[in-house]
Structure 1
Amino acid sequence: MQVFEKIFEAVPDGLLVVDAAGLILYVNGALGRLFGYLPDELVGQPVERLTPRQLASAHATYREQYQAAPKARAMGASNDLLGCRKDGSLFPVDIMLSPLDIGSQKQTLCVVRDATARKEVEAKLHIASTVFQSTQEAIVVTDVDCRIVAVNPAFETATEYTEKEVLGQHMRVLRSGRHDQFFYRRMWDAILSTGEWQGAIWNRRKSGEIYHEWLSISTVRDRDGQPVQYVGITTDMGRMNHVETAVERLAHYDALTGLPNRLLLNSRIQKTWERAHRDGKPFAVMFLDLDGFKAINDKLGHPVGDELLKVVASRLRENMRETDTIARLGGDEFLIVLEDVGRDEIVALAEQLIKRIGAPFDLGLNEPVCVGLSLGWSHYPKHADNVPALIRQADEALYQVKRSGRGAWREYCG
């Protein structure tokens, strides 16, 4: 018998045994703590002491009906049960019932669990589900392999695909073909390093129509910090006439630095290529990356990092001509397009930028902040005759600088 008593006391849920008359025969310590009683205070008392006062009569009637035809009832079979603590406070409970036949005596084992946490989770899930179903923004959830596991009605409206059609499909089903591999590589570099990405993107509806939207991607992680899902939230900019001006600004310029973003850069670099191809003039693509920025961000915080990026952008602008384009790609990466320039001019500008960015930044802190600059560049038509190749070559040149010590420039060497 002592073994069974020890088991009874070890169970984390509240346990009590009630006889056919509704009197409590036994309670464990967990039940006493749950209701605020010492176990001895409940033994011999009617079980209705643990129910709301106004429901005691109804509970007694139910108990008599149950005793007439006792049967096991699973935990959570009733969703709106309340317990009453010794101090009179009420709280939601889940209850499991199981008939006990001990000799000629009919008894009932009751397992009682505090349902407060479950109710709170259910309420939050209900709110989340309501938002998911009713929001005007299209939402898509994918697994870590980018296969779709859930979409909301707004997604179906925007893409013209039903949920059934896209579940299990890879997100590339929406690709428009307007973005090259460089665009997607940079997107995933940001997602994998920071857990998020946002920007303008062209996608394709089921009908084949290509449309413009603003996409925000966030990473969902498990308790160990490992990615388990990605959530994408999009706004179809072509259907947002009431905020077209603001959205267009967001679509083409970096919100932090005011520099052109990737979308505007792609448009400008394409036009630069067209002019260079038509007129037979050279142009250069220059990839820039700050040295030591991450350490400053980690040590001094993101607000300081953001302020630093603003001043860096301002210094870079000072050295640009009207015909040049400088864009922020994300994080501490920038890209410059230089029209109608020769190698000597490129080298002179590269050295000037490295010196300018290497000068201390006064951000109003106790000490100046210092970063360096690494850059790589490629030249049209010497290195390549198309934009994707020129960008890739400039990126490769930058990578070589980073590997060899940073704080320098390098021309692409194929």
Structure 2
Amino acid sequence: MTLDLIYSTALLLALSALYEFNIRAWGQRLFAAQVCAGLIFGAICIFGMLHPANLAPGVIFDARSVILGVAGIFGGPVVAVIAGLMAGAYRLWLGGAGALVGAAVVTTSVLFGLGMRVALRRGWAQPRLLDFLMFGAMLHIAALGWFLLLPMQHLQKLLETLAFPYLFVLTPSTALLALLLNDLQEQRHAKQALARSEAMRRAITRASPDLLFVLDEDGRYLEVVSPEEHLLYRPLTETLGKRMDETLPPAEARRFQDFLLQTLKAGTPQKIEYELDTLGGRHVFEGRSQALDIRVDGKRAVVFVARDITERVKAEQDRRVAAVAFESRQAMLVSDAGTVILRVNQAFVDLMGYSREEMIGRKTSTLRSGRHDAAFYEAMWESVRKTGKWEGEIWDQRKGGDLVPLWTTITAVRDAHGAVTHYVATMNDISERKLQEEEIRSIAFYDPLTALPNRRLLLERLQRALTLARRNGQHGALLFVDVDNFKQINDEHGHHAGDLLLQEIGSRLGRVVRESDTVARIGGDEFVLVLEHLNEDPALARTEARQIAAKALLTMARPYDLEGLVYHASGSIGIAMFNQAEVDLDLLMRQADEAMYQAKHAGKNTVHMHGG
């Protein structure tokens, strides 16, 4: 009878290995695995009851308590309940005097197993031999307790023949089966953890932009991981298993071999920066190496990680170049997208008079001179928004308050998404150029002696006056002024006195006319006045022109102090009127000239109007 019990126990231990196979087969589908495990444990219990130790008809002993106990420990409620229901139902189906006792043993085994599971999880018990032996002993003592309910004749036979073998065989069997399943479970968890770790390592390695090499002490590539093959010196298939001196240029191979040996000797992480002609062109890398704690195929090995820093190196070079350019002789400032100044160079400080500390944090509008209106700045920034750049002449204000003309270029700096991040402005002082332009303009358009407009500028302004008269329906007048007896002062007192007289006459005529009018000298002793915006009524307009001409004669007739020489002069004035009607410019000039000669013939120091 004892041999039958041992045989049954050994068979159940072997069949229980199906549990581990089931767990592995179902993988991540936990509930399905639990259901299937419950069916396996239940089937094993039923199989055990097919070959029991028979105490008497209807009273059997088998290893179902072992199976159900460990089912509760390692399978949990789902597995234990399914297995317990199957075992209990089958035992009741077999019937006999011990049927109810057998069902009670099934229930006890399930409950003891689940209790031990809770004890292990809360740390009250440990998954070791002694704890499992104690569990097995208590379980089977409890199971034997149920057999006390059997009739006396069966109970006496139980105590004489099977009680002690039952305890001394099934108790260690329970412990051994529990240790076996615990070991298998720990191995499974370790493999799962290792698989997760390996999967994470592969994912991290592949997601990393870095190159990874594992090399042995001979410089042989044991493993190569590259996010992009163009970063390698040679294709992956021509690299793995080869030594560095077989794949790299000789000089680089020697350098890396020395670096590898240095890493092995130091035992601490080492760093190197290098350039290499890869499959994708010339690249710069930053490499870090660390010796492995274990040998690979009996040789020391190193993990080498290389990061492509080509863009970073290029950016650093660009920044250095930009820094040198920024500190050039050209004034520069950098602002953020809100035009708050971030940086200015020394040339800016020298040009504008502000220190760096005074400018940083202030808006660029601080420099506005007030010479340009809002429309000017609106058009400027509109150009920057549309084209990314504006270039032109602008007047800004220095710290001292004086204005300076600048040739300014404003450039927008955008990020990878096209959003403006900064503005860079370069400024060149064009004061000298403006001065030269003014000098050229003065020579081209102004009389050098009196600084009055010359004939060229006179004709431009007269043409403009004619156009405005036609547009506005107003009248205007052209006055030719000739100095009487001018030759006399040159003959008697010299040309210097004559020049002084002409300058004074020009100044006096300028004070007679209004701001919108023009006084010009067209040669010798001849001056021209252009009067604009006269009355719309022809008669009143002629009267206004005569009044201004009369004032001109009066002011010309006052004595002149020519550096101590008191001189008297007079003038003759001819007037030609114009209005909205189309008038030929040359004809108008001739009419005024003729009227002036009529005034001279009338006795000088008088006014004559063309047409009476």
Tell whether 2:360 aligns with 1:163: no
CA contact (8 A) 2:230 2:279 kept: no
Unpaired runs of 5+ in structure 1? Answer: 252-318, 326-337, 346-378, 380-414
CA RMSD of aligned residues (A): 4.1
Q: Distance in 1 between matches of 2:439 and 2:308?
A: 52
Q: Distance in 1 between matches of 2:295 and 2:421?
A: 54
Aligned equivalent of 1:205, options 395, 398, 405:
398
TM-score by length of 2: 0.36
Q: How does 1:185-224 map to 2 (within 5 A)?
A: 185-224=378-417
Judged with a 3 Å threshold, the aligned counterparts in structure 2 of structure 1 residues 7 and 147 are, in CA distance, closer, same or farther, namely closer
Q: Counterpart of 2:263?
A: 66
Task: Describe the superposition over 1:200-239 as per-residue Cα deviations: whole angstroms up to 9, x where unpaired.
Answer: 222222233322212222322333333322222211012x
Q: How does 1:11-410 map to 2 (within 5 A)?
A: 11-30=208-227, 33-49=230-246, 51-73=248-270, 78-79=272-273, 81-83=274-276, 91-102=283-294, 107-134=301-328, 136-238=329-431, 240=432, 245=436, 322-323=463-464, 343-344=472-473
C-alpha displacement of 1:96? 2.8
Judged with a 3 Å threshold, the aligned counterparts in structure 2 of structure 1 residues 29 and 225 are, in CA distance, closer, same or farther, namely closer
Q: Distance in 2 between matches of 1:247 and 1:141?
A: 32
Q: Distance in 2 between matches of 1:157 and 1:84?
A: 46
Q: Which amino acid aligns with 1:97?
A: S
SS in 2 for 1:101: coil
Q: Distance in 2 between matches of 1:323 and 1:15?
A: 80
**Greater percentage in strand:** 1
C-alpha displacement of 1:9? 4.3
C-alpha displacement of 1:85? 5.0
Task: Describe the superposition over 1:286-332 as per-residue Cα deviations: whole angstroms up to 9, x where unpaired.
Answer: xxxxxxxxxxxxxxxxxxxxxxxxxxxxxxxxx9963369xxxxxxx
Q: Distance in 2 between matches of 1:203 and 1:148?
A: 15
C-alpha displacement of 1:100? 3.4
Q: Distance in 1 between matches of 2:462 and 2:382?
A: 30
SS in 2 for 1:197: strand
Q: Distance in 1 between matches of 2:291 and 2:242?
A: 19
C-alpha displacement of 1:26? 0.7
Q: Counterpart of 1:267?
A: none
C-alpha displacement of 1:90? 6.3
SS in 2 for 1:131: helix
Q: Distance in 2 between matches of 1:199 and 1:86?
A: 47
SS in 2 for 1:322: helix
Q: Once the two structures are aligned, what percentage of the paired residues are identical? A: 28
Q: Distance in 2 between matches of 1:93 and 1:168?
A: 38
Unpaired runs of 5+ in structure 2? Answer: 1-194, 442-459, 475-532, 534-612
Q: Which amino acid aligns with 1:72?
A: P
C-alpha displacement of 1:339? 5.9
Judged with a 3 Å threshold, the aligned counterparts in structure 2 of structure 1 residues 101 and 321 are, in CA distance, closer, same or farther, namely farther
Q: Which amino acid aligns with 1:54?
A: A
Q: Counterpart of 1:257?
A: none
Q: Distance in 2 between matches of 1:121 and 1:139?
A: 20
Q: Which amino acid aligns with 2:336?
A: D
Alignment: residue pair count? 259
SS in 1 for 2:384: helix
Task: Describe the superposition over 1:85-111 as per-residue Cα deviations: whole angstroms up to 9, x where unpaired.
Answer: 589x86432223344324797532222
CA contact (8 A) 1:18 1:47 kept: no
Q: Distance in 2 between matches of 1:324 and 1:101?
A: 97
CA contact (8 A) 2:221 2:244 kept: yes
Q: Distance in 1 between matches of 2:413 and 2:203?
A: 42
Judged with a 3 Å threshold, the aligned counterparts in structure 2 of structure 1 residues 106 and 191 are, in CA distance, closer, same or farther, namely same
Q: Distance in 1 between matches of 2:210 and 2:238?
A: 19
Further displaced range: 150-159 or 9-18? 9-18
Q: Which amino acid aligns with 1:323?
A: R
Judged with a 3 Å threshold, the aligned counterparts in structure 2 of structure 1 residues 208 and 57 are, in CA distance, closer, same or farther, namely same
C-alpha displacement of 1:65? 2.1
Judged with a 3 Å threshold, the aligned counterparts in structure 2 of structure 1 residues 144 and 117 are, in CA distance, closer, same or farther, namely closer
Q: Distance in 2 between matches of 1:148 and 1:209?
A: 21
SS in 1 for 2:327: helix
Q: Which amino acid aligns with 1:322?
A: Q
Judged with a 3 Å threshold, the aligned counterparts in structure 2 of structure 1 residues 7 and 183 are, in CA distance, closer, same or farther, namely closer
Judged with a 3 Å threshold, the aligned counterparts in structure 2 of structure 1 residues 91 and 144 are, in CA distance, closer, same or farther, namely closer
SS in 2 for 1:323: helix
CA contact (8 A) 1:8 1:28 kept: yes
Task: Describe the superposition over 1:367-395 as per-residue Cα deviations: whole angstroms up to 9, x where unpaired.
Answer: xxxxxxxxxxxx9xxxxxxxxxxxxxxxx
Q: Distance in 2 between matches of 1:147 and 1:86?
A: 45
Q: Distance in 1 between matches of 2:438 and 2:211?
A: 56
CA contact (8 A) 1:27 1:43 kept: yes
Q: Distance in 2 between matches of 1:62 and 1:191?
A: 52
Greater Rg by CA:
2
CA contact (8 A) 1:50 1:84 kept: no
Does 1 or 2 have the higher relative contact order (CA < 8 Å, sep 6+)?
1
C-alpha displacement of 1:158? 1.0
TM-score by length of 1: 0.51
Q: Distance in 1 between matches of 2:219 and 2:238?
A: 16
**Greater percentage in helix:** 2
